[in-house]
Amino acid sequence: MPLDHASKEILAQVSTATLTTVLLKKGLRNVWLRGTRALQPDQPRLVGPAFTLRFVPAREDLATPESWSSPISTRAAIEAMPEGCIAVVDAMGVTDAGIFGDILCARMKKRGVAGLVSDGVVRDVAGVLQTQLPVWCNGVAAPPSVAGLTFVAWQQPIACGGVAVFPDDVIVVDADGAVVIPHALLDEIVDIAAEQERLENWIMSEVEAGVPLPGLYPPNAENKARYEAAKRR
């Protein structure tokens, strides 16, 4: 089932910090993808279905420049990416081989891919930035992917940043990094997260008005009643 417009609009207003709290309350602790940092400041929050790609350690007979022309290649995977998806790449945390460079990122941007998230690194960083494809990754490196990695598959379950990500799980990514929402929990998480964000915005307004934190964050019964009254207004 695709990510519907209403859910996407709601999640676009919810921080990843709030989402990790909401998911923690549902028993999901391991949802923040380690090593996913914004390649440049002020990248907008993105929401989209995960399109997964997977690398394994380089093996000399497979990790060659010739492999870039194989039917199983990053090039072929990019041509399968639907508009609006977020490419999530399992690079095993390898930081000395760039998984994508400027040409691949330019093609993703042209296809309408919303962004790239990886626990690996990119190369040709100046060109990647020029493509204006939003990227969250673990840094930059000059060597190509085949220097340390073998690309093996797309749209399979992966482990990115130590987190299990399945195709079409929902990714939300902002200045704090990337969070995965299991697709089966999406509707429930959207409802809870929207309310949590409203509550925290109200709490922030109270803090700015000088209200002390005990009984406010988290709110006690009195402050919950005040919040509900504020919502009705």
Looking at residue 28, what is its pLDDT? 97
Q: Tens digits of per-residue pLDDT, 149-202? A: 999 999 999 999 999 999 999 999 999 999 999 999 999 999 999 899 899 999
The answer on pLDDT for 1 being more than 70 is: no
pLDDT attached to residue 63: 74
Handedness of CA 165, 117, 103, 43 (dihedral sign): positive
Predicted confidence (pLDDT) per residue in 40-78, tens digit: 999 999 999 999 999 999 998 887 888 878 888 999 999
Task: Let me know: does 158 contact 80? Beta carbons within 8 Å.
Answer: no
- Domain map of the chain by residue range? 5-184, 188-232
150 — phi, psi (to 5°)? -120, 125
Asked if 17 and 53 count as a contact pair (C-beta separation under 8 A), the reply is no
Full-model pTM: 0.92
Class in CATH terms, 5-184? alpha beta
Interval 87-97: pLDDT, tens: 999 999 999 99
pLDDT digits (tens, 9 = 90+) for 6-49: 999 999 999 999 999 999 999 999 999 999 999 999 999 999 99
